[in-house]
C-alpha cells in the first residue's frame, strides 16, 4: 500500500507539501498540486481520513438527522438518504444517519458538543423545530430538507407543496372529479407542526377552492388500519366522493383495501393519487398508482452540495430551493362514472 512518502518521492516534493495538498492548511501552487495529485492517482494512494481530519481540524463526517420509528425507512425515505450519501462521497465526506428528532434536544446537544460532525442536514422539519436552534447555538453548519415557519435566514431545499398539490388536484379535476378527499398524516402529526402535513393541508384547500370545490381533508394514522379508518371517515363526510388524494404511504394500502372491501374498483369507481411517493411504492399496488413522484434523491444531493459548499467557503452561502413532485400517470386514475352514494356503514 502506497504511503505519503511514496507520493512525495514520485512527485519530487516534500512530505509536508503532500500533507498541505491533502489538508488545504497552506496555499500550494496549482502546478505543484497537480504533480501531487497525479502521483497519488498513479500510486492509487488512499489518504488516512483520520489523520487528514486531525490535520485540518475537520472530521470529514456529515450527519443526516432523520427521526425514525419502528417502521424504519421505506423506499421513498431511502431515496433521500441514497442521494445524500452519494453526494457526500463525491465530495470526500462520510455520511452518518442519526435518528435524532425534536423530542429530546439533550441528545442533539450532546452530539453537537462532541464535534464529531462537520455539518448536519436536518430532515422531517417542523415549523418550529428546536433542533435548528440547538445546532445554531452549537455553531454547527446545517441545511434543511424542509422548512421551518420562518426559514428566511436558513439554507434549505424542500418540495414545492403548493405546486405539487395544485397539479395533483388539477389532474383529478381535469378527469371530471368534483368530490375529492385528501388523506393527510395523523392529527398528532399535524398538531406537532410537521411542515409537509400543514403545507399540503393549506395547499389542498387553496387548490380545491380555486376550482370552486369543497375541500375535505381526513387525518389518518400512519398504518394500513389508519387508511381503512380514514376512508370510512371520508365516505361519512363525502358519500359521493370519486377520488382520493393521499400523502401517507403507510395508509395508502389500507385505503385500497377498504375500497376493495366495499366492492369499489380503482379507478372505475374511485380514483387514487398517492403524493410524495417513490416509483417503487407506486408500482406495488394493483393497479399501479398514479403518483406525484418525490424528488427525494435530488433533494438529498442538493442539500449535501449546499452544505459542503458552506464548509469549503464559510461565507454567506444561503441556498433556498423548492422542487415540485412530478405527476406520473399510471392505472389508478380515470374519469369518474356514476354510482350510488355510499354511507359510512357500507
Nearest by Cα to 178 from 243, 267, 272, 246: 243
Strand pairing report for 320-323 and 216-219: unpaired
Residues near 205 by beta carbon (within 8 Å), at least 6 away in sequence: 215, 217
Over pLDDT 90: what percentage of the chain? 68
| Domain presence at residue 272 | yes
Q: What is the enclosing helix (H) or strand (E) of 248?
A: none
State how far the Cα of 189 lies from the Cα of 221, in Å rounded to an integer: 9
Helix residue ranges, H only, 146-270: 161-175, 187-191, 195-210, 224-237, 249-261
Per-residue pLDDT of 302-332, as tens digits, reads 999 999 999 988 776 789 999 999 999 999 9
- Averaged pLDDT for residues 284-289: 94
Write out pLDDT tens, residues 88-122.
999 889 999 988 766 667 778 887 777 788 999 99
Domain of 304, in residue numbers: 61-159+296-324
User: pLDDT-derived band of residue 340, with 50, 70 and 90 as boundaries?
Assistant: low
CA distance 219 to 251: 10
Shared domain check, 259 and 200: yes
Does 260 map to a domain? yes
Closest to 311 measured CA to CA, from 95, 96, 141: 141
Q: Which residue has the cell 500550494?
A: 28
The pLDDT assigned to 161 comes to: 98
The structural domain count of the chain equals 3
Instruction: With respect to residue 71, please indicate whether it lies within any of the assigned structural domains.
Output: yes
Q: Are residues 120 and 239 in the same domain?
A: no
**Shared domain check, 181 and 144:** no
Q: What is the pLDDT of residue 337?
A: 86
Average pLDDT of the residues in 185-190: 94
* 3-state SS assignment for residue 180: strand
Same domain for 167 and 79? no
Same domain, 258 and 303: no
Q: Do 169 and 144 share a structural domain? A: no
pTM above 0.75, yes or no: yes
Task: Cell 392529527: give the residue.
Answer: 187
* Model confidence at 131: pLDDT above 60: yes
16 shares its domain with 80: no
Share the mean pLDDT of the chain. 89
Amino acid at each position: 500500500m502506497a504511503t505519503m512518502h511514496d507520493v512525495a518521492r514520485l512527485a519530487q516534493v516534500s512530505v509536508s507539501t503532500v500533507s498541505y495538498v491533502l489538508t488545504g492548511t497552506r496555499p500550494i501552487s496549482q502546478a505543484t498540486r497537480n504533480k501531487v495529485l497525479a502521483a497519488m492517482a498513479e500510486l492509487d494512494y488512499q489518504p488516512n481520513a483520520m489523520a487528514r481530519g486531525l490535520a485540518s481540524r475537520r472530521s470529514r463526517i456529515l450527519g443526516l438527522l432523520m427521526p425514525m420509528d419502528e417502521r424504519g425507512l421505506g423506499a421513498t425515505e431511502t431515496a433521500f438518504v441514497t442521494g445524500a450519501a452519494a453526494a457526500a462521497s463525491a465530495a470526500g465526506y462520510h455520511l452518518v444517519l442519526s435518528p435524532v428528532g425534536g423530542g429530546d434536544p439533550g441528545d442533539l446537544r450532546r452530539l453537537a458538543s462532541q464535534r464529531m460532525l462537520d455539518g448536519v442536514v436536518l430532515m422531517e422539519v417542523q415549523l418550529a423545530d428546536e433542533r435548528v436552534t440547538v445546532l445554531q447555538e452549537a455553531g454547527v453548519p446545517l441545511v434543511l430538507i424542509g422548512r421551518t415557519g420562518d426559514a428566511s435566514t436558513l439554507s434549505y431545499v424542500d418540495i414545492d407543496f403548493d405546486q405539487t398539490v395544485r397539479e395533483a388536484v388539477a389532474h383529478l379535476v381535469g378527469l371530471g372529479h368534483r368530490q375529492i378527499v385528501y388523506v393527510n398524516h395523523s392529527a398528532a402529526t399535524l398538531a406537532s407542526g410537521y411542515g409537509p402535513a400543514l403545507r399540503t393541508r393549506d395547499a389542498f384547500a387553496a387548490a380545491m377552492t380555486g376550482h370552486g370545490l369543497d375541500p375535505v381533508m381526513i387525518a389518518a394514522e400512519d398504518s394500513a388500519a389508519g387508511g381503512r379508518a380514514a376512508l370510512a371517515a371520508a365516505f361519512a363526510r363525502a358519500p359521493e366522493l370519486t377520488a382520493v388524494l393521499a400523502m401517507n404511504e403507510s395508509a395508502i394500502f389500507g385505503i385500497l383495501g377498504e375500497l376493495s372491501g366495499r366492492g369499489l374498483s380503482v379507478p372505475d369507481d374511485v380514483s387514487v393519487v398517492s403524493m410524495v411517493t417513490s416509483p417503487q411504492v407506486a408500482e406495488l399496488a394493483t393497479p399501479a398508482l398514479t403518483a406525484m413522484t418525490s424528488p427525494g434523491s435530488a433533494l438529498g444531493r442538493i442539500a449535501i452540495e449546499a452544505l459542503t459548499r458552506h464548509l469549503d467557503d464559510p461565507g454567506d452561502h444561503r441556498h433556498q430551493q423548492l422542487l415540485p413532485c412530478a405527476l406520473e400517470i399510471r392505472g389508478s386514475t380515470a374519469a369518474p362514472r356514476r354510482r350510488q352514494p355510499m354511507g359510512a356503514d357500507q
